[in-house]
Amino acid sequence: MGTPPQIKNNVRILGNLDSGKSIILVHGFGTDQTSWNSMIPAFAEDHRIIVFDNVGAGESDPEAFVQYKYLGLKSYTRDLLDICEALEIRDACVIGHSAGGMIGALATIAGKQHFSKLVLLGASPRYLDDAQYVGGFTENDLKTIYSTVVENFLGWVDDFAPKAMNHPDKPELSQHFADTIRRIKPENVLTVLCAILQSDHREDIQDIDVPTLIIQAREDLFVPMEVALYLRDNIRDSRLVSIQACGHFPHMSAPQEVVRAIRGFL
């Protein structure tokens, strides 16, 4: 018998535990459930809020990260569905940031009974450029990232974190992000980066069958506006909101903007 998801993924249930409305928050690469801390109070009165750490991040069970299993997003998706089954979640709104957005999207397809709405925050179905598709990265970009992580992990973190956060006025946010990345073993970071940056879920998103909100910030190192427009054009019953925030982590740097967009959707 496997480790229960509550332990495996360090699941916590917050907010109004008696509410019939649930929100599930799925974090992205390099962060953990604490990345949602600034947003949780806005929904805590009216919703039951489920937060957790993806395997390999935060306080998840370190023994659960088996590299060959987590070379793609399917095992992360299975973990999310296991959490929903264990907690008997029905008709929840799943909010996913970055890779967590695609994990949430794949979960709505595979476990429709659990979800009624989807929010994609800085999410992408494919990061590599392709013919007639702008993903934001070239093959050379990825090779450079992988080689730098292997050769100088700490130097890469120190350079990458502030660029991704894109808020020189709030250095504490970059520091928090850098600290959460450093908690991950370098070899695991490389595995997760490969799983995310080499994924292609463009066909999958066409099977999303719940109302979907796409939230896009400005000057996102990971996800250009072209990707958000692609999501809007290829997901049925979706709408795109461009918010007054910059960087890849608006739920940390401008939580009020993200909350405002989600409230209008809920």
pLDDT computed for residue 2 by the predictor = 60
Tell me the pTM.
0.94
Which is the catalytic residue, given 167, 176, 248, 251? 248
Which is the catalytic residue, given 32, 79, 82, 220? 220
Domains plus CATH for the chain? Answer: 5-265 (3.40.50.1820)
Where do we find the tokens 């990707």?
A: 227
In the structure, what pLDDT confidence band is assigned to residue 1 with cuts at 50, 70 and 90? very low
User: How far apart (Å, rounded) are the C-alpha atoms in residues 54 and 75?
Assistant: 10
Tell me the percentage of the chain whose pLDDT exceeds 70: 99
Taking only the tens place, the pLDDT of each residue in 190-234 is 999 999 999 999 999 999 999 999 999 988 989 999 999 999 999
Find out whether 169 and 253 touch, Cβ atoms under 8 Å: no
The beta-strand segments (E) located in 4-91 are: 12-15, 22-26, 48-51
Which is the catalytic residue, given 35, 60, 75, 98? 98
What Å distances lie between residue 10 and 65, 71, 155, CA to CA?
13, 21, 29
Taking only the tens place, the pLDDT of each residue in 143-179 is 999 999 999 999 999 999 999 999 988 899 999 999 9
Q: Average pLDDT of 93-101?
A: 97
**Known catalytic membership, residue 124:** no
**Known catalytic membership, residue 204:** no
Average pLDDT, the chain: 93
**Known catalytic membership, residue 167:** no
The top-scoring range by mean pLDDT among 4-8, 117-121, 151-155 is: 117-121
Residue 99 has pLDDT above 60, yes or no: yes
